[in-house]
Every structure is written in structure tokens, then in C-alpha cells.
Amino acid sequence: MSTEQVVVGVGPVSPDDVVRVARGGCGVRLGDDAVAEITRSRAVVDAHAEDDEPHYGISTGFGALATRHIPVERRAQLQRSLIRSHAAGSGPEVEPEVVRALMLLRLSTLATGRTGIRPETAQAYAALLDAGLTPVVHEYGSLGCSGDLAPLSSIALALMGEGQVRDPGGVLRPAAEALAAAGLEPVQLAEKEGLALVNGTDGMLGMLVLALADLRRLLTTADVAAAMSVEALLGTDAVFAADLHALRPHPGQSASAANLRALLDGSGVMASHRGPQCTRVQDAYSLRCAPQVHGAARDTVEHAATVAGRELAAAIDNPVITLDGRVESNGNFHGAPVGYVLDFLAIAVADVAAMSERRTDRFLDAGRSNGLPPFLAHDAGVDSGHMIAQYTAAGIVSELKRLAVPASVDTIPSSAMQEDHVSMGWHAARKLRRAVDGLTRVLAVEILTAARALDLRAPLEPARATGAVRDAVREAGVGGPGPDRHLAPEIEAVVRLVDDGALLTATALRLH
């Protein structure tokens, strides 16, 4: 775990904070402003708890059972029962980075003071996260409405000293044992606290924030891949001129075109066929229209980032403690705003990957590759070259098209029809994570193939930036043209370069 800490106050945490805590192992602590506001709103809950009149979430049951008034002596059991029954997830474990992201985001909502939780419970939640204890959360259990209930309940269960967690070393341990080893005490929940811990969109939002960080890197990498393909296929860069893109003023499109111009600057390959002797009037759409498609995806990311920013600033619970001390039921836990953009991003990811795969395919067809050998093979017929790498990309693209089918339209009723319309935002987020991984791999196949094609254009020299990317691929242990060899490890080597941003670093350019 990192010794650095993110201070969680009354205001929203930043997307960068989410990434630092989720992926960088950064610790957390509650700010003094948060402790003060939590203390103030808890006094409201305590006053209502002593009232003979029933108040939802404080002295009643939950959901369709909200009409039952619960006596004081049964309320601790009520909170335990809520968490135990709602921690009903199933399936594979969710990735630790997702669990840490949703924990940070739930803590951020607790810190607003709008949930009515006790200060000591919020502090215990922060301590659980800071200690690097990651409760086991399962794939299935959230409908994205009334919060990501089962995932968040798994966290609350660990806070109570029940269930299982992964310790900082990744070892699976009983929660009570891991808490004791970290010097932490299990929490006995009081009125309202069960709901405060489980009623939020934190899981789907955490996955959205992580996906946005990935997609900003991947869409710039898509420009790198496209530039290498345009260059190695002897395409024209005239279509990337700034004045042409100004005629259609979408910001993402202009940024993508600017990247392509920078990446291809000084290319000897491009210079070899530029001028009156060039017969390339128009390239195929997968080359010519790369800025339009990559740009539309960039603008989709920015729209999703706007929604994520609003959600990061939200205080989601039901009921909430308002600034003027009212306890009010509401529907802010409905995940529609987040679910919609998660689905929108999956569409953009599928399309960017589909265009990348088409560029890869052009390299392998001697009728469309402008003089390159069939399948970029050393001895076509004896060798298959990159033939099956394209199959791999094509299979992933087909999967991405299925993942682009929206989850957010697939509502299903629950809780005796009390929760009769749900968002499925958690499921939209889960499939987007798979889609992001698929795009990473499709771009890696294109870059692997384009690097080989650039080598085959020798003695023509690529641009400095694209040549540096090609060199980074070679330095990662991926050989140049030659007889067939085991290709899967080479694909994985480039996947790692795409995933960690090394290829963008290699360009030494300030790309958009």
C-alpha cells in the first residue's frame, strides 16, 4: 500500500483520486470538515430515532417492508439483517480496483453528511480502505437501482467483521481475522446506517471513472495505430489538414486529425509518394475517416466525463438528511444517468475497434496493401504471417458488437413490484470493462501488424514518432519480418505496451 493518502472531505473526490486509490493503492482519511458535517446530520437521525412516529430507514423496515415500525430494541438486528440479506452476490470475484473505487465513492458520499451515518462508522469505513483490506464482491447482485445493493452490502458486511476480504497481499481471509490483524474493530451498526452504506451508484460510477481513464489513453493510441497504418499502406495525409476539419467543428475530430498530422510529420514513407506522381486520390474509409470515428468516440468520452463529474458531486442515499435537517425519501439512487453513458461508451468502443480491424485486414490482402507481401508473410504459402492475428482481432470485434447492445433498456421488476423499473447500470459497467480490454487487444494487433509493414517498406524511413513506436515494439521482444514464429506472446507483449501507455511515451509528442 502507498503511504500517500487522499483526504475525503465534504466536496467531491476527483477522477484522479479515484484512479490513485483504486489502482495506485493510495490510502484515505476523512477530512475534518467531513467529520463535522457527519456529526451534525447524525444528530438529526438520533432525534428521529427517539420519535414515536415511524421514519423510513430509521425506525421502519425497507423497500416493500417499509410500512412496519421497528421497536428500539430490534433496530440493531434490523441493520445486521439488512446487510446480511443484501450481501447476496454470486459469481466470480470483482476486480480489486473496482472494489476500492466503489469504497472510495461510498466514503465520499458518507463524508457529505447527507446520509446520517455516525462519525465512528464513517471513520471505520475509511480505515478499512486505508488498510488495504478489499472485501470480496461478486459479479452478480446489482440491478443498478436502490443502489449497487449486493456489492455495497458485501463491503458493509466486512465492516461488521463478517464475510471475506483480500488482505494487502491479495490473500483471502475471514473479515474478522483480517480486521484484527489490521488493528480494526468490527462495527455495530445503528439506526439508518445500513441504508447509508448500500444505497448508491458507487460501483457503476467507479467503473465509469476507471474506463474513462483507460479510454483517453486508448483513443490516443488508436490515432497512433491509424497513423502507422496510413503510412505503411502508402495512404495520403492530405485529408488530415486542419482547414478541412474546421469545416466540421467537432472538437474530438480536430484533435484526432492534429494527432495524425503530428505523428506523420517528416515521414520518408509519406514523402516517397507525395506530389504530382501520387495516384492516391482517395483512401478507403478506415484510413481517410479515422479522425471522424476516433473523434466521435472522444466526444462521447467527454460527454460521459461530464456525467461522471456530476455524479461524483452527488450525495446519493435514501432517505437523505437535507441541509435544513429534513429526512426525505427520494429516487436519486436510480442509475439511469450513469447507465446510459456506460452503454454509449460501449458503442463507441466497438466502432473504433471495428475500424482498427479493417485497417489490419488491408495489410494482409496483397490486392489492397500497395506492394506488401500476402499476409506480410516471409514466404507466403509456407508462412502464414499475420493471417490469424487478424482472425483474433475479428473475433474480438464481433464480441464487442454484442457488448454494445445496451443494458440500460433491459429493466426487470423486483422487490414485490416496489422497484418496478431499474437501470442495470452495474451490468452496463461490467460489459464496458470487457469492451475496453477488447479494444486494447484489437489496437495491439493493428500496431503489431503496422510495425511489421513499416519494416517491409525499408529502405524508406517512417516518421520519427511512428518509427519510435515501431522500435518500442521491437525492444519489447517482438521480432521483425521473418519466418513464422509463435505469435501469441508477441500480441501479448504489444497489449502490455498499449495498456501501460508505453507506446504513447515512445512518440515523445504531446498528443491530444
Which residues neighbour 469 within 8 Å (Cβ) at sequence distance 6 or greater? 224, 228, 447, 451, 503, 506, 507
* Number of H-type helices and E-type strands within the chain: 20, 9
Cα(479)–Cα(215) distance, integer angstroms = 28
What does the chain come to in residues? 512
Which residues face 30 on adjacent strands? 8
Q: Which letter does DSSP use for residue 118 in this model?
A: -
Cα(37)–Cα(319) distance, integer angstroms = 17
Which residues neighbour 506 within 8 Å (Cβ) at sequence distance 6 or greater? 468, 469, 471, 472
Which residues neighbour 303 within 8 Å (Cβ) at sequence distance 6 or greater? 341, 344
Which residues face 69 on adjacent strands? 60
Query: Is 125 part of the annotated catalytic residue set?
Result: no
To which H or E segment does residue 225 belong?
A: helix 202-232
Cell numbers describing residue 274: 507525395
Q: Fill in the amino acid letter for 5.
A: Q
The dihedral region occupied by 417, where left means phi > 0, alpha psi between -120 and 50, and beta the remainder, is left
Reply yes or no: is the peptide bond before residue 319 cis, omega within 30 of 0: yes
Q: Which of 56, 125, 340, 391 is catalytic?
A: 56
Q: Which letter does DSSP use for residue 242 in this model?
A: H
Catalytic residues: 56
